[in-house]
Amino acid sequence: MSVELPFAPVDTIIRRNAGGLRVSAEATAELAELIQRRGASIAAGATDAADAEGRKTLMPADFGVEEVVDPDTLELPIAPVDRIARLDIDDRYRVSMDARIALAQLLEADADDVADGAVTLARHADRRTVKAEDIRTYVELVT
């Protein structure tokens, strides 16, 4: 699975949680891959809600989002999130623009949580750099 998400916005998300810590390129890559896997999984699950209502277009409610934020407030770009949403769903489904934004909203909130947890683990290990192992360890601890 190739990573559809550019690293720069993911790096920004980690750094806004990192405070004074450095962030390794591997940590950014690990979080980008995690976001992609979760996004594809969430979109695949959203097809069940659309099917139940006889729709072929995914809507924000299918992702459990009732209020969609302004896309300009998000760090994650919408076009790659759209590609991520389509990774594990059938071509017969469409993804509405609001659903793309809703998915980006969910993924960014999740990325913030993971980044914050990874920063805590790096500090606990008395390191000044957030590493990929911090991302993986945090995910293992919370899942």
Residue with tokens 């594809």: 40
109, pLDDT greater than 80? yes
Domain 7-142 bears CATH identifier 1.10.20.10: yes
29-84: per-residue pLDDT in tens? 999 999 999 999 999 999 999 999 999 999 999 999 999 999 999 999 999 999 99
Q: In the prediction, which pLDDT does 60 show?
A: 98
Could you say which DSSP state residue 70 is in?
P
73 CB-near residues (< 8 Å, 6+ apart): none
Secondary structure element (H or E) that encloses residue 36, with its range: helix 25-52
Q: For all residues of the chain together, what is the average pLDDT?
A: 96
Residue with tokens 């759209």: 82
